[in-house]
Structure 1
């Protein structure tokens, strides 16, 4: 048996092998040590013909899935080695083999699968200076493929990987140690598998793809280039090797071009907190969190996919917006659709279980329950006017045959297990009904035999009993032994009684005892046939599940629009972005929609190409810029937007450079990271892009930073032509408006009370000439001594040497100079316009500013 184990383990060195022994799956040697630690189960030993016992641990077969889920969630690959022949039929050692390899990217159940998020396994192949990328979620049957032209940068590949965040990825060996592999490991926490060289052969990959899709030419499914053949073939080969299945539900590859969608690079996705927050990596606080009011897991995943891939085709965007509008305006349609949609289960993942043969009766009943509502949903779509909804109605499939099959066959109270019987409903199969009748009537038949024999023999205390040795038998006490007839066959004599059988009793026994076993096997066979019938219709079921997912997303858009007072944006091809009283969708929700200050925006290719925004920290510059980007993004996914009105020109890409961060593991300082991101933006943006740039140049000296920031703005204004929001503390930059007519100065309105400030969070035209840094530091709670010292240094810079004195000795300047700000504040006070309470407050503030 151990030799059998070693032979199997040798072929699967990168897996933890679970080896079936009776009612347990046992784990040996290094695998056992790892599993014992990760699963927190007892490590024991087993004699195996070696000097020392083999380390061993085990888990019950009936609960093995829970343990597998824990291992895959931690990034391990698990090979399940089970018996592949009946033990009673085996000659010698029972045959065992790997029936499935479960990896983080190939799980069908367990904690690693999040209901509202796809679980992608990816492949990245680099071949002849081209990249091929595949993303597959086998739990839903989704498979997408794209390629990048020759000489595409690794950054472009990384940006696409950031969209999907795969949990497992196959990469060609020539990408070992590359920035792509580093990103997958560090940013995606991804399990990496290297593609074998024999797989990266166009003939091999072509054959495996043509065989899987049962076609003669891959051109028919859009796979036309060598790089697409190799990358798709590598993924399919791996899935077939690990799943040991024909993967019938992977029946379509969606070929997409990244240029068909708005480009959001990995930095922008993080900075805008599109699907998760920067700080906690949680959905709450992200744009997706605001937009997600879906009622099914399918709808949530579809919404996430659309948020990750905003459209750039104006007709497709307007089709979505018109669909949302119809649901906003037709409250009855909107409400009734939600009532039915919320009763639909996760059909996508149900059909994947059916495809793998791992579903049970309860899950088929869930599918039936979901299908039951399809006719009502189609009826609601009957008189709709939007392109998407009316097209759905015309192509709707109620799956009546699937519903009827499950309705007629599967028992409503069937057990979870498929090997215990109780699956098939009465009336579906005559043989099943016959065996069920035997089971139900067996007790009655035995009672009739007992009463009949009592009457014929006169043995009043005759009893029919049962044990595992003799089966059913007639028991007679010794006091009635003289009345035992000749046709009773003696089987056993005990101290106070004797036991007999009769031919008739044995005949009934055979029927009763074999009926249960035969019924269980027959029900399992019929259940398998039912699953196979449904499996042959997976493409139809998948199509309708996609419709439900879309409907759920559009209902969510309508709900959010109504709840949050969003408006339908107008989409234009003129590149103008006009937003009237726009609001940040996340911040206003966090504030419970109270007290959020809206701001308007005007960007175009003419005099409003660049908005240069000055103002103090904490005043709202970053919030304002992010809200403009998020409103544009929302509009291009088909959602209404938080504004009084919005006219959005199609944006092909959004780029952001916000905040300070380093990448020490890659040897990059904060400023190096900043400049790398800026370089990517300037090299990748087009005139149709939207740039969000915050505090460029702050990571180095003032002179260097100001020079860099000036040059960047000049390049955008003179050469790039992209619509840009540029926030800065370099007030000197505001003079650029005098040289460029496509730059407008804006600032954040601030109200001053002495040395205190109140942020009004309102963007207005104009500029500020100081940053209120010391006032902000005061609001943050910086000690008063530090604040006073800062005032001294600042005044010394502005009035004397223009150099910062960093010595411990205070700057030696006259007291009148140190208190100059107090005098200036006193000069500004209009005594006739303030009341006594305000006067006392002002005096208190001024007193705190006096430097003694």
Structure 2
């Protein structure tokens, strides 16, 4: 168990960092740890360091000493090893001797801090909070305080953050099987909380968010420790992965009473009902504990978070970690790089906040059709209006990161350059709103509403700050002339003093007849008169020698020192006044933070959508037709990443159809009662209605949702009414036609909208309730659009690519993007599951096959008929018969019990028999062309099952010896000749489904078991 960054006991000098000096090697072992050294003998500075280290035991303490940040004892060894810096030693007091010491220059603090934080360390920064000269005059130590604690989840500095990724700090509270999660990005102000009861969902959320730091409440002995990735602790709940950085916090910070009070104070409200989290006690506890941590680490630097928002995981399409990894959404599987990921293929954003928003959208696709269509509508308009799209993108490139600039300003960390960038960006917003006014789609409408206060603030910043201010606020020259009268007067006096200095140089040259005499300045000696050493005999008597150099002598005069004191005092006053004016400007930005962040979200969303429109135009994407059905119909689909990686036109498109059984009605459809349709009612042909009965068609697309969209979206969505062009019998599912539900009282013509139904097709004389008799309903189903596809074909022919292609198209559609296809009709998926490839999990001692089985079990236990399941090579990690049996049973279960839309890629060709047994299974293959001495992969997915995998041919292409290839062919012929697997499947299982195919009756579990035992019998 790792307790903290430092060692728990003194370390010997036998295991010092490789860059340890000889002085470091001579340090006594008891002096290597601040807890074991004799503090009574330490110098006052070292005693103070040890006291602070007691308070911040979980952090590396960087202690400001002059122009360096130094650290001592065990922290010195940590920094030396982590940063490969020299470990030396420093005198710590009489009777103690030397202690380990490492230091970094003050100007390099950010760079070294970033490196330490990236390695999972927390850093406590102790600064000098008074002028050293003041302390020296009073004969005491300089006053120092810890001004900030840097941890992986509490970073604000631009150089420490990834511009296009959020830096989340998370807090978790677990009570039995229930859990609460809160997370925040203090650089952007985002603050959210949720609560659920499946621990698997908690892990999935953490894996989605990839927080830089997770807070865990505990009262265990290692309280206060920081666990770096890979370290473990008894305080860490078993369900949580050790791949994150964990901060172990006191339980008292997570009590409901304290957490509630903290939230009420933070957001200045009287009740949590307005925040929407009153009913989420665990979420409230997590959020309160997170706020307390920010108070501890940020000290006086107030962090202005956005108002707490709640969300429900079930409101979004769920992607588990394996699916995100297998679909390579944000990084590739092979080398974990950005290039080659879906994000790489789709990211055409122009701003950093747009890049972060796109990442969030891809990892959290929508379920609500209204939100999806709002995004599709905006992309469609931008695709069609090229000029508007290009003008928007050009303007967006000129807008800086409003979210993080506002965060820095609100917390008092923004410098003048930050406010100049912010002001410039705010002045671009009205121009952006004017451009958006040329559009009518939802997100363009949102962008048209820019608060006038933001333009006023932009003008204020532009009018006050110089165009190119210095980096450091104490250097002055921040504020423009004619902004503040007192400032202008002080500048006038300073200019007079500077002119006096310039005139002094001219006057003294003439007086002394020394042409190379100069008046200079440095921080050590102030103003001085420089005279070449060859001319020192000519200096006047009132010159006082101050410094001797190789080629010159430096002098001062009483008059020069008097003027110097006046100039330096005036300069300090001038810089102080400029700083006060700047702080006032920064405060004004903080007051408008909420408005700026609201507009920032709109800008980010529009940036994402304009980028997706750009991809759609240049890659030839189409708008998918989205509904609540189970249909997945993709015409000429392409893999969005592979297509961009290949030369234009080389990718072979393939279609896919899943999840929509057709209902054919032979003769007259007569229904006595209510006709219920799950999904859209589609009728191909004429709909004739007679009588006064009610025809009640409910549109399931417009179900209420608790989902919180990224932005306000105008309610301009048209309900999915009965469109004649959409009325196809394919959506009439036999399972939905229940005679008990056919109520004539529900059939009222009042529900038939004239705008949606052609009057010529409505024949009242033809519909009589008495004629709607269940006995007259004759229907049969076609299985050309299955629930499960068995996909076979050669190795390296593109099966895995096809699986990922279908999954990515579905995901992109629910993100709100256009998709790489010529046409697509997609029903909403609640989850996407993938099981593609497997590796050993050495950390938990699981073999490749066990990992595969765990992933498969997760799919079977959580998939629904609204899920999309993509399986590749189930059962290949064990013996052939075992693997085939498992693969068969998994496919059977998915098709018969879950009825999830599934593509099952396999080299077990025996699984093709499922299609002859189950009505909702179909066989497809990736085709090849066989020549005399080679095969050509056509990469085309066609109906029918393959009977060969061409594995030997793949081995030949890989360079296996000819003798091995020849022998493999001989063995394969013998195996094929004597194999009875396929025959056993047909005889042993096929007959038990014969009755099922015609009557629909279910085979008993006992019968199933008995028959399956006969698969491989002689």
The TM-score range, normalised by the shorter chain, is 0.7 to 0.9
Matched residue, 1:65: 110
Q: Give the equivalent residue in structure 1 for 2:258.
A: 204
2:166 alignment partner in structure 1: 118
Call closer, same or farther: CA 1:743–1:442 in 2, change over 3 Å: same
Distance 1:14 1:313, change over 3 A: same
Residues 601/466 of structure 1: CA separation in 2 closer, same or farther (3 Å cut): closer
Q: Deviations over 1:105-131 (max 9, x none)?
A: 112236552111111121121024311
Residue 806 of structure 1 corresponds to none
Which among 604, 607, 614 is matched to residue 559 of structure 1? 614
| Equivalence for 1:369 | 424
Report the CA distance between 1:86 and its aligned residue.
4.0
Alignment check: 8 A CA contact 1:796 1:802 kept: no
Task: Please name the residue that 2:213 is paired with.
Answer: 168
Aligned residue pair count: 782
Counterpart of 1:723 in structure 2 is 901
Q: In structure 2, which of residues 231, 247, 271 is the aligned counterpart of residue 193 of structure 1?
A: 247
Task: For residue 43 of structure 1, report the CA deviation from its aligned partner.
Answer: 2.0
2:796 aligned counterpart, secondary structure: coil
Aligned to 2:859: 681
Deviation at 1:253, TM superposition (A): 2.0
Tell me the CA shift for residue 726 of structure 1.
0.9
Q: TM-score, normalised by structure 1?
A: 0.86
Residue 81, structure 1, aligned to residue 259, structure 2: no
Q: Distance in 2 between matches of 1:737 and 1:450?
A: 100
Q: Which moved more, 1:435-444 or 1:321-330?
A: 435-444
Residue 198 of structure 1 aligns to a residue in which SS?
Answer: helix
Question: Are the equivalent residues in 1 in contact too, given 2:203–2:239 (CA < 8 A)?
Answer: no
Once the 2 structures are TM-superposed, how far is the Cα of residue 336 of structure 1 from its aligned partner? 0.6
Kindly indicate whether the alpha-carbon contact (under 8 Å) linking 2:633 and 2:824 is maintained by their aligned counterparts in 1: yes
TM-aligned CA distance change 1:122 to 1:244, over 3 Å: same
1:328 and 2:383 matched:
yes
Q: What do residues 785-818 of structure 1 show as CA deviations (whole Å, max 9, x unaligned)?
A: 1111111212222335889xxxxxxxxxxxxxxx
- Is the Cα–Cα contact under 8 Å of residues 472 and 509 in structure 1 kept in the other structure? no
Pairing partner for 1:9 from 53, 57, 75: 53
Following the alignment from structure 1 to structure 2, what is the Cα–Cα distance between the partners of residues 472 and 743?
93
Q: Evaluate the alpha carbon distance shift between residue 680 and residue 343 of structure 1 in structure 2; reply closer, same or farther with a 3 A threshold.
A: same
2:189 is equivalent to residue 141 of structure 1? yes
C-alpha spacing 1:234/1:465, structure 2 compared with 1 (3 Å): closer
Mapped contact 1:685–1:720 kept (Cα < 8 A): yes
Pairwise CA distance, 1:465: 7.8
Q: For the structure 1 residues 415 and 678, does the alpha-carbon distance in structure 2 shift closer, same or farther, using more than 3 Å as the test?
A: same
* Secondary structure in 1 matching 2:494: helix
Choose which of 772, 775, 780 in structure 1 pairs with 2:953: 775
CA drift at 1:19: 0.8
CA contact (8 A) 1:69 1:109 kept: no
Counterpart residue number, 1:18: 62
* 2:254 counterpart SS class: coil
1:431 aligns with 2:486: yes
* Consecutive unaligned residues in structure 1, runs of 5 or more: 485-489, 804-852
Residue 40 (structure 1) aligned with residue 78 (structure 2): no
Cα offset, 1:8, TM superposition: 0.6
Structure-1 residue corresponding to 2:276: 222
Asked whether the equivalents of residues 212 and 246 of structure 1 are also in contact (C-alpha less than 8 Å), the reply is no
Change in Cα spacing, 1:802 to 1:298, as seen in structure 2 (3 Å) is same
User: How far 1:95 sits from its partner (Å)?
Assistant: 2.3
Which moved further from structure 2: 642-651 or 531-540?
531-540
- Residue 213 in 1 paired to residue 276 in 2? no
Shift of 1:422: 0.8
Q: Secondary structure, in 3 states, of the residue corresponding to 2:491?
A: helix
Aligned match of 1:625 in 803, 813, 834?
803
Q: State the distance in 2 between where 1:564 and 1:480 align.
A: 80
**Quick one: structure 1 residues 98 and 735, their matched pair in 2 at CA, closer, same or farther if it must change by over 3 Å?**
same
Q: Cα distance, 1:51 vs. partner? A: 3.0
Matched, 1:636 2:814: yes
1:412 counterpart = 2:467: yes
2:430–2:450 CA contact under 8 A, matched in 1: no
Secondary structure of residue in 1 paired with 2:242: helix
Alpha carbons of structure 1 residues 766 and 415: separation in structure 2 relative to 1, 3 Å: same
SS in 2 for 1:586: helix
In the TM superposition, 1:686-697 aligns within 5 A as 686-697=864-875
Helix, strand or coil: the match of 1:704?
helix
The TM-score normalised by the length of structure 2 is: 0.72
**Which is worse superposed, 124-133 or 691-700?**
124-133
What do residues 432-452 of structure 1 show as CA deviations (whole Å, max 9, x unaligned)? 111211121224457889999
Which digits, 9 at most, give the CA deviation of each residue in 1:318-357, with x for residues without a partner?
0000000011001111011011100111122212221232
Distance of aligned partners of 1:515 and 1:734 in 2 relative to their CA distance in 1, 3 Å threshold: same
Deviation at 1:200, TM superposition (A): 2.3
Structure 2 residues not aligned, in runs of 5+:
1-44, 221-231, 547-554, 662-782, 982-1018
User: Cα distance 1:135–1:448, how it changes in 2: closer, same or farther (>3 A)?
Assistant: closer
Secondary structure of 2:340's aligned partner: coil
Change (3 A) 1:177 1:774: farther
Provide the alpha-carbon RMSD of the alignment: 3.2
Once the two structures are TM-superposed, the CA of residue 88 in structure 1 deviates from its matched residue by: 4.8
Measure the CA separation in 2 of the matches of 1:661 and 1:304: 26
The secondary structure found in structure 2 opposite 1:567 is coil
Check the 8 A contact 2:797/2:939 in 1, yes or no.
yes
SS where residue 553 of structure 1 aligns?
helix
1:399 is aligned to 2:454: yes
Are the aligned partners of 1:134 and 1:145 in contact in 2 as well (CA < 8 Å)? yes
